[in-house]
Amino acid sequence: MSEQVGKTFDAKIDKLDRKGSGLAAVWRENEEGNPKKLKLIIPQTLPGETVRVTVDKTKSRKRKVMPEEILEEHPERITPECPHFDRCGGCVWQHWRYEGQLKEKMEHVKEAVTSQGFDSSLVRETIGMDNPWHYRNKMEFTFSPDGELGLHEQGNWRKVISLETCLIAGVEMVEAAMEVARWAKQYELKGYNKDLHEGLLRHLMVRQSFATNEIMLALFATESPTGNLKKAVDDLVKRIGEKFPQVKSFMWMENNDVADRVQSEESHILAGRDFIYDELAGYRYRLWFDTFFQTNPTQAEKLVELALEIGDPKESEKMIDLFCGVGTFSLPFASRVAELAGIEIVESSIESAKRNAEDNGISNTHFLAKDARKGIDQVLESFGNPELLLLDPPRSGAGGKVMRKIGRSGPERIVYVSCNPDSFATDIKELVPFGYTLKMVQPVDLFPNTIHVECVALLIKE
């Protein structure tokens, strides 16, 4: 019998993919009546569950479908708290009890290190949060063409889900964002249409320091806030000032680029300054709209404390902080070593790192705006070989060439902070020929209800 349109299957979830969706396989008949395996990607499911799905006629060997009914539930399945969970792409695991999420993240790290020949017993249990809600100190919302403010639909970057709330963002951040959304609707301002490349409002970035309580609002638009817009913008500034006195930076950012990125060609300060103050692990930082900073300050402090504990910095030592950003790890370590050199390719981040060191009375740092590979060579030549090296690379990892340069520089201890277990495991394998041994890996959950996990690892030169 040939396959029917809209055939229904009962599928068992074998495991989860790296995007947090369930994976299953069913058998179907092709046009010749022969059985063929169809691989299914099924979001909002958990390992071991049996779910009912309907698959339209297709010759593809893989399909993504939504579950119609959960026939056999995972014992850790719970009812999602957010009303937008079914459609919003902000989180994928609100249907999973938090303890199960933490275990899955630990298993992800174990699989990654095992795949590169390391002992999985070196991976500790994931450090979670006491309260895994309202933890984000930065959010980037998007305007739909009709002016609604929200987040992208799960798996569809062209569709924006209008939000009433967001349970992973700070409460006051969401309230401020909703005030901007009401303003946009009142003045009937159009959002940006990505297909036609027309419309006014593109994004709203909100960030807040949970330590100082200061909020930054950055509204990205295709026109300047003058001329016909002046009356509406003045009203928005007044409303924000009256309702949210903690907003210390309110920016209007012009962006006419075709690419759908949160960037600015020209900035206008509507109120306050162009940065806010934040604090982390006892150090003070200035944050601009494009400053990369840890988005979960509660867990970020645990990352810093853990890195200090396993790195064991000493007053007599030299240290390199690779991919140093604005100095999140640099400043706490610099207070404990003789000299520290920070390397980061983003020039604005290096300028911020220098300013942050000065603001905190730290004078033994040397920050260099260079690509990691070239920066290491330059620092080693002028600075000498370090006893301690810390790296916190982007999701893609540091790469083999950089890791081999680190290995040749011969630091006694290497602290690797990672936001991607797979690239982390690939990177540290490059250190083995240089005599390094992996001592421990500590997963830390900075993004509850999502698939992401950070980890901090220690490698020792034997």
For the chain, give the secondary structure using H, E and C.
CCCCCCEEEEEECCEECCCCCEEEEEEEECCCCCEEEEEEEECCCCCCCEEEEEECCCCCCEEECCCCEEEECCCCECCCCCCCCCCECCCCCCCECHHHHHHHHHHHHHHHHHHCCCCHHHECCCECCCCCCCCECEEEEEECCCCCEEEEECCEEEEEEECCCCCCECHHHHHHHHHHHHHHHHCCCCECECCCCECCEEEEEEEECCCCCCEEEEEEECCCCCHHHHHHHHHHHHHHHHHCCCEEEEEEEECCCCCCCCCCCEEEEEEECCCEEEEECCEEEEECCCCCCCCCHHHHHHHHHHHHHHHCCCCCCEEEEECCCCCCCHHHHHCCCCEEEEEECCHHHHHHHHHHHHHCCCCCEEEEECCHHHHHHHHHHHHCCCCEEEECCCCCCCCHHHHHHHHHHCCCEEEEEECCHHHHHHHHHCCHHHCEEEEEEEEECCCCCCCCCEEEEEEEEC
List, by residue number, the catalytic residues.
Answer: 419
